[in-house]
Amino acid sequence: MFPNHFAVYRVPRKNRGFMLPLALFLVIAIAALAVGLSRSASSVPFVALQEVFSQRAFYAAESGANYGLSHLLLRSDINRTDGNTACTELSSVAITFSSDGLENCRAVISCAVQSGSLNDASYYTIDSQGSCGTAPVDASRTISVSAYIPGEP
């Protein structure tokens, strides 16, 4: 007449022992996730530092290219003969920076000249390779710029 609320519910025999493997699987999965997160979190400072050196190397290369262009084109009398001489002077010029932001960086500049098909102009290619840092955290970037000086009319 009165139901027995204190009766123990019996688990069917085929379902016994299922919780132990499930709990073990969850513990292992959570531990693997924690290890993965800790490894990725520990690599974040290295990646950020690499990005800083990469940007600094880019700016060092850009500064070297600007130096090369100014050496080539900013003369009182620009003509092809002086431009060819300036390009020869730029071969393997190395600049070591000491200013804030580019300390421990350097730029290596090279210049190549080609004459036009009718010998009516000189075409210059200035390559600047900027590098910053030391191994294992270092970066290198290369920038190429072109310019030309027309021939005498």
Query: Mind listing the pLDDT tens digit for each residue in 65-113?
Result: 999 999 988 876 778 888 888 888 888 899 999 888 888 899 999 999 9
Greater confidence (59 vs 50) lies with 59
- Whether the link from the prior residue into 136 is cis, omega within 30° of 0, is yes
Tell me the pLDDT tens digit for each residue of 37-53.
Answer: 777 766 667 778 888 89
Q: What does the domain layout of the chain look like in residue ranges? A: 49-150
Lookup: tokens for 55: 């940007």
Q: What is the pLDDT of residue 73?
A: 86
Most confident of 2-11, 18-27, 41-50, 115-124: 18-27
> Which pLDDT belongs to residue 36?
81
Pairing of strands 137-150, 105-115: unpaired
pLDDT band, very low/low/confident/very high, at 6 (cuts 50, 70, 90):
low
Beta bridge partners of 142: 129
DSSP structure string for 44-88: HHHHHHHHHHHHHHHHHHHHHHHHHHHHHH-SSS--HHHHHHHHH
Q: What is the mean pLDDT of the chain?
A: 83
